[in-house]
Structure 1
Amino acid sequence: MSPNSTPVRIGDLSVGDGRPVYVIGEIGINHNGDMSICRQLIDVAANAGCDAVKFQKRTPEICVPVEQQSKIRSTPWGDMTYLEYKHRVEFDHEQYAEIAKYCGERGLQWFASPWDVPSVDFLEEFDVVTHKVASASITDRELLRALAATGKPVILSTGMSEIAEIDEAVEILGTENLVILHATSTYPLPAEEANLRTITTLRERYGVPVGYSGHERGLQISLAAVTLGACAIERHITLDRTMWGSDHAASLEPTGLQHLVRDIRVIETALGDGVKRVFPGEAEPRERLRRTTA
């Protein structure tokens, strides 16, 4: 990591170089507006050893383009307009209070990607530990200014973005309390579009902790990101990839999430500190096998 990078404090955790990888299970809208499914997904994240779960918070009248609001969509609850559907999968204040309480009981941090300024205000009522900028929102200057004004740490996803767009977002947000996530917003993500070396590019350019938000199937790309120094890993999670909804197919099921966290922790240990030394396990073979000749 860039020598200019300082770890960012998110709640009681420190995210950055030399710190444990911050693992985020993104529930997003995979709860399908059902609190029972939501609680099960929180359990999945907690049981796997995630540090946090992340949601998405929208004001549908603001976020759904006017020309799409009246379009009819087939849903598990019958045919309805797209605007009605977006309301159907949004949680209200009472439900988020339940989420906050249950995450606390399970030892998880929680936060969300607000997609509009009223949603920032909504989340601030719960004093969330951080805010996430979705890749789609990186050019929403009004939203970025509202997030910067909270004084909270911000996690910035960079899918669908050119460097100039990231530059402008970072200019608004500042670098003092910023974590950037490399991402490619293809669902599901093919390996040839992962471009993981961008993790190094972003770290060197902005001097902040850089992680990875993945939309691929499987674990390999996320684990490779950890070996390249990603300080955070975010993956969508689901109870079943065949469930109805737009994000389930590119999500990890419970066993996959457990394996991801397990393997991240192994890789963290295996990376070491880069100082070449003789380890205790080598002492006996060294004594027995090493030949020194003139």
Structure 2
Amino acid sequence: MAMKIKIGNKKCIGDGCPPFIIAEAGINHNGDIDIAKKMIEVAKECGADAIKFQTFKADEFIANPDETYTYYSQGKKVVESMFEMFKRYEFPKKQWKEIIAHCKSKNIVFLTTPQNASDLDLILGLTNLSIIKVGADDLTNLILLKYYASKRIPMIISAGMAYASEIEDAVNTIRNVGNDSIIVLHCVSSYPADAEEINLKKMGAIKDSFGVTIGFSDHSIGITASVGAVASGATVIEKHFTLDKNLKGPDHWFSADPQELKELVKSIRFIEKALGSPELIPTTKETDMRKICRRSLVAVRNLKKGLRLTETDIAYKRPGTGIAPKFAPYILGRRLKTNINKNNLILLEHLD
């Protein structure tokens, strides 16, 4: 059964909690500590709840240093060594310490995706992580998931590229260690993801099938999919962002810029309020509007005391402060105890 997961002293994730918005810095800091710190400041200014990085050592997760990676940057196709690319984006322990401290000083939750057990151990040696995030690339790395789950820290796992059986294996692996604080993010591992690939309905299937808290990791361009995800029940939104789409690197061009991130947060907070309550009653303002807009029984002409009312004696006009039209059958045939002028309300006290 899905549950609420506490994040620090003031935040929670789950049904009934405000959507938790993660500004995904990823590797968009370009390996520059100053850019990373600026991204922290911008994420906070835009209203994000957390900023997430990626912690890795290239030689621990890339086996072939000659393997190439193709991406688009600054409007051009780039082909380069995957190892060299990720090596550029590594931060040493000292700089992770600075990043964590800067997050604390700006009062924004620090998150990261540790690529390996050694990366998690490094970060846990520097701070108490609120959540461990696992990317879609490691959804099927059950040995790694088991180790992460053993830390008894809430886990977010992305379910990109996944079959239902793979999500089930991942969830069961985490639960079997005794960790039931699991958030599964529906994710499409295309960069960017097109509308017809997004399939937001998968979130409901994930929640119903595995009894987990759900969210959405948005790799589409723009903010529409994220807002739609919240309307569809997502409790976590993760969105790549950059300081400038024109910076060098594989992810900048499709990431949200600061203005888009700010608009994303604003739109999610709006839809959060707009979802409201399922209770079928008028709002406070509607209660007042009912009196103005609804119709009541009125005299169709000047009516004399003693008249027995017929359908030709009444009309249905605003305001709605009198007898509603649906009660007309119970009024017809009764006698007036007083004169009623044309267009005046016919009230119960006017009837015998």
Scaled to the shorter chain, the TM-score interval is: over 0.9
Q: CA RMSD in A?
A: 1.9
TM-score normalised by structure 2 residue count? 0.78
Relative to 1, partners in 2 of residues 1:73 and 1:219: Cα closer, same or farther, differing over 3 Å?
closer
2:248: which partner in 1? 244
Distance in 2 of aligned mates of 1:71 and 1:133: 23
Deviations 1:63-121 (A, max 9, x none): 1122xx13578999xx9854343222111111011111110111101111111121121
**How many Å separate the matches in 1 of 2:80 and 2:213?**
42
Aligned partners of 1:31 and 1:38 also within 8 Å: yes
Shift of 1:273: 1.4
The one of 214, 221, 225 aligned to 2:218: 214
1:289, 1:233 → 2: CA distance?
40
Deviations 1:23-70 (A, max 9, x none): 00000100000011111111111001101011111121121122xx13
Aligned with residue 70 of structure 1, among 63, 66, 73: 66
2:239 is the counterpart of 1:230: no
Calculate the TM-score normalised by the size of structure 1: 0.93
The match for 1:23 is 21
Q: CA deviation at 1:193?
A: 0.2
Number of the residue aligned with 1:11: 8
Deviation at 1:277, TM superposition (A): 1.4
Q: Would the alpha carbon gap of residues 96 and 142 (structure 1) be closer, same or farther in structure 2, given more than 3 Å must change?
A: same
C-alpha change, 1:283 and 1:211, in structure 2 (3 Å) is: same
Aligned to 1:112: 112
Structure 2 runs not aligned, ≥5 long: 296-323, 329-352
- Match for residue 273 of structure 1? 277
More off after superposition, 114-123 vs 47-56? 114-123
How many residue pairs are counted as aligned between the two chains?
287
Q: Which residue of 2 aligns with 1:160?
A: 161
Bigger Rg over Cα: 2
Paired with 2:169 and 2:68, the residues of 1 have a C-alpha distance of 36
In 1, the alpha carbon distance for the partners of 2:275 and 2:69 equals 48
CA shift for structure 1 position 255: 0.3
SS at match of 1:250: coil
Q: Distance in 2 between matches of 1:244 and 1:182?
A: 28
Partner of 1:195: 199
- Name the residue aligned to 2:151: 150
Contact 1:60 1:86 in 2 (8 A): yes
Q: Which amino acid aligns with 2:186?
A: H
Identity of aligned residues (%): 34
Secondary structure of the structure 2 residue equivalent to 1:180: strand
- In structure 1, runs of 5+ residues without a counterpart are none
| Secondary structure, aligned partner of 2:150 | helix
Look up the equivalent residue of 2:54 and give its one-letter code: Q
Which residue number in structure 2 is paired with residue 42 of structure 1? 40
String of CA shifts for 1:173-206, please: whole Å, max 9, x gaps.
Answer: 1161111100000101100000000111011111
Amino acid at match of 1:40: K
